Structure 1
Amino acid sequence: MADATTTATDEVAIDFHTLFRIYKDGRIDRFAGTQILPPTTHPDTGVRSKDVVINPGTGLSARLFLPKITADHSAGKLPFLLFIHGGAFCIETPFSPNYHNHVAALAAEANVVALSLHYRRPPEHLLPAAYDDAWEALNWAIAHSEDGDGPEEWLKHHADFQRIFVAGDSAGANIANTVLVRVGSEGVRNGSRVLGMILFHPYFHNGEPNKLLDVIFPTSSGATDPRLNPAGADPNGLAKLGCESVLIFVAKKDWLKDRGWSYYEALRKSGWVGKVEIVESEDEDHVFHLLNPACEKAVDLMKKTVSFLKQV
C-alpha cells in the first residue's frame, strides 16, 4: 500500500505532457530543454561566451557571445544582437545545446556581439514577466553605449548600439515583436538605433482555444491581446514597429506557418515604413534549423540571416 504522504506529494495539479507538470505541493517538473552547456571558447571559430546577470533582484540573466577579436581594431565596434529563445515561453534556455550552438554560430558568421536572454519562464513566473525581461535586457545592454555607464566590458568595448538587431524563434519571436513595438512607442536611450528584427517560425495567437496560455498567461485576453496576436488584435499598432527592416522565416510543414504569413501581411498593410521580407523553407518543420543545423535548408537560412545582420 502506498504511503499516504507520498501519494499526496505526488498528486498532479496540471500536466502539459511535453512541457511541464505542476504538482499540488507546488513542485514543477520540466520535460524538455533542461540540458545545460557551460560557457566556452569555440575551438574553431574563437567565439567566446560568458554568463551575465542583468538584474540580481529578479534573477534575469543572459549568455553573452563575443566573436574572435583580432589585433586589428580598424573595423571598429560590431553590431549588437539581442536573441530571445523559444520553447512555448516555458522551456529551453540560452544554455541548452541547441540555443548555445545557434547563437554562437550567429556571432561567428555574422560577426556580431550577441546577448542570448534567459528570461523568467512560466509557470514559476507567469507572463507578461518574459516581455518585461526582454525590454529590461535591451535597455541594460544599451546602457553600455558610449554615453552610458553599463558594467559589462565586452559590451562597452565591442558592441555598436547604432546597429542593434533583435531576433527570436517561436515564442521568442513573439517576445521580440513586443519589444520592437515598445521601441517604436517609447524609443531607446542614448541615441541608439535598432536596424532590424528577425522572426524564426514565430508563434502568434490566432483565436483558437489555448489551454497552455490560460495557465501561463492568465491575465491575457487571448486573441485580443496585441502581445499575443498583433496582426489580429491591433494591426495598426504594427505601424509603430521600432526598427527599419524585418526578416521572417516560416517552414512549409510548420503548424505555425500561416500565422507567420498573417503577421507579414498585417505588417505590410499597417502603414509601417520599413522593409519586410518573408522566406518559406520547403519540406521543413518547426525550428528545423536548430535541430539539424547542417542540413541544406538550415545552411541557406543561416546565410540569409547573416546577410541581414550585415546589412549596414
Structure 2
Amino acid sequence: MDSGTSEVVHEFLPYFRAYKDGRVDRNFGTDIVPPSINSQSGISTKDVEIVKETGLSARVYIPSTINPGQKLPILVYYHGGGFFMGSPFCPTYHNHVAALVAEANIVAVSVDYRLAPEHPVPIGYEDSWIALRWVASHYNGQGPEAWLREHGDFHRFFLVGDSIGGNIVHNMLAQAGVEGLQGVKLLGACLVQPYVSKTESVHTGVEDRSWLFSCPTTSGFDDPRINPAEDSRLSRLGCSKVLIFIAEKDDMRDRGLFYYETLRKSGWEGEVEIVETEGEDHVFHLFNPNCEKALALLKMLASFITKTRLLST
C-alpha cells in the first residue's frame, strides 16, 4: 500500500482511526441492537427514516405498558462521539436511552445524524435540526410516525445529549430560540459533560483535534457553535431550564463550568443548574452504566424531566 494513502490523519484510540486516503476504521458504534416490541426491558423500539435521500434516521422508544391514547413527555436524544462515531443503534446508546425511558416514563427519539469525515460538520448540526423539526411536525396529530402522533405530549418536550451531543443540544436550543419550533413547548434540556471551547484553554487535547477534524471549515475555537462566549444566540435559548452534568476527572470538566457561568451571565431568563460527579471520568455512565454513580446520574436526569414537566402543568 502507498505510504501516503496509509497516513493517519486523526485517531482516537482504541475507538477510531481515519486515513489520508479517506478510509475510516470505527471500533465504536458499529454494533447494532435490533428494534423490538415488548422487549424484556419493558421498552418497545422502532427505527424510522426521516429523510430517505440522505439516510437520516432515528430510533423511537416508548414504554411497552403505555395505554392507548396515553400522552407522555417527549425527549430527543443526541449521542456523543465527536461527530465521527457513535450511533443510536449501538448497545451503549440503545441501552442508555432505553433505561432513561423506563426511569422517566417518556417517549424518546434518538437521532442518527450523519458522521464525519464522510459528512463533515455542519452536516451533523443540519441533520440534528431537521430531525428535531420532524419530531415537532407531529404536534397537531399529523406526521408519519404513529407513536409520536398517539403518545407524544408536545407541551412537555426535552432535549438531552452527552459530550458532542451536549454541544448539539446547545445549538438546537439556540436555533429554536431564534427560529422557534412550532407546536412545541420546549421545557428543559440536559447537557451531559458537554464539549465546548473555553476561550482561554490550551487547545491541544483529543477533543479539540476532533473538532478540527470533524469541521475542517471552522474558524477555530472562537467558532460560536462550540464557544458559548462567542454565540450571540446564547441569551435566547429556546427553553426554560438547563441542567449540566460534569465529572471531576473529566478533561472537559472546566468547559462544562465555563458553559454554566457563561450562560448564567448571558441575560438568558431561564434557570440553569450544574451537578458534579466526584471521582469519575468522561461519559463514565455510558461505559459503566450499572455502577452506583451512573445509576444516580440516570435518576437525577429522570427527576429533572419529571419535576420540570410537573412545574409546567
Equivalent of residue 205 in structure 1, options 197, 203, 212: 197
- Aligned twin of 2:131: 137
C-alpha displacement of 1:144: 0.9
In 1, Cα distance between equivalents of 2:17 and 2:68: 52
Question: Are 1:152 and 2:145 matched, yes or no?
Answer: yes
Contact kept, 8 Å, 2:82 with 2:214, in 1: the verdict is: no
- Aligned match of 1:196: 188
The aligned residue for residue 170 of structure 2 is: 177
Matched, 1:120 2:114: yes
User: What's the offset of the Cα at 1:91?
Assistant: 0.9
Return 281-290 or 216-225, whichever deviates more.
Answer: 216-225
After superposition, residues 162-173 of structure 1 pair within 5 angstroms as: 162-173=155-166
- The alignment status of 1:96 with 2:90, answered yes or no, reads yes
The structural deviation recorded for 1:23 is 3.6
Query: What is the CA–CA distance in structure 2 between the aligned matches of 1:101 and 1:92, rounded to whole Å?
Result: 13
Distance 1:296 1:149, change over 3 A: same
Structure 2 CA distance for aligned equivalents of residues 212 and 242 of structure 1: 28
Aligned Cα RMSD in Å? 1.8
Q: What one-letter code is carried by the residue in structure 2 that aligns with 1:107?
A: V
The one-letter code matched in structure 1 to 2:222 is T
- TM-score, normalization: structure 1? 0.91
**Unpaired stretches in structure 1, ≥5 consecutive residues:** 1-5
Partners in 2 of 1:53 and 1:38 — Cα distance?
Answer: 15
3-state SS of paired residue (2:233): helix
Name the counterpart of 1:82.
76
Q: What is the Cα deviation at residue 142 of structure 1?
A: 0.9
Match 1:308 to one of 300, 304, 309: 304
In 2, are the aligned partners of 1:205 and 1:222 still within 8 Å (CA)?
no
Sequence identity percentage: 50
Higher alpha-carbon deviation: 86-95 or 214-223: 214-223
Of stretches 221-230 and 253-262 in structure 1, the one that deviates more from structure 2 is 221-230
CA distance in 2, matches of 1:228, 1:163: 27
Give distance in 2, aligned partners of 1:145 and 1:133.
20
Code of the aligned partner of 1:65: Y
- Deviation of 1:7 after TM superposition, in Å, equals 4.2
Alpha-carbon separation, structure 1, partners of 2:277 and 2:164:
19
Q: Secondary structure at the match of 1:183?
A: helix
Partner of 1:187: 180
Pick from 221, 227, 230 the counterpart of residue 229 of structure 1.
227
The total of aligned residue pairs comes to 301
Q: Counterparts of 2:303 and 2:293 in 1: how far apart (Å)?
A: 15
Kindly provide the amino acid, as one letter, of the partner of residue 230 in structure 2: A
The yes-or-no answer on 1:12 pairing with 2:11 is no
- Offset, 1:8: 6.3
Post-superposition CA distance 1:30-71 (Å, at most 9, x none): 232322211124644421011111111111011111112344
1:120–1:130: 8 Å Cα contact kept in structure 2? Answer: yes
Q: Which runs of 5+ in 2 are unaligned?
A: none
Q: TM-score, normalised by structure 2?
A: 0.91
Q: Distance in 1 between matches of 2:60 and 2:238?
A: 23
Q: In 1, Cα distance between the equivalents of 2:3 and 2:160?
A: 43
Question: Which letter does structure 2 place at the counterpart of 1:11?
Answer: S
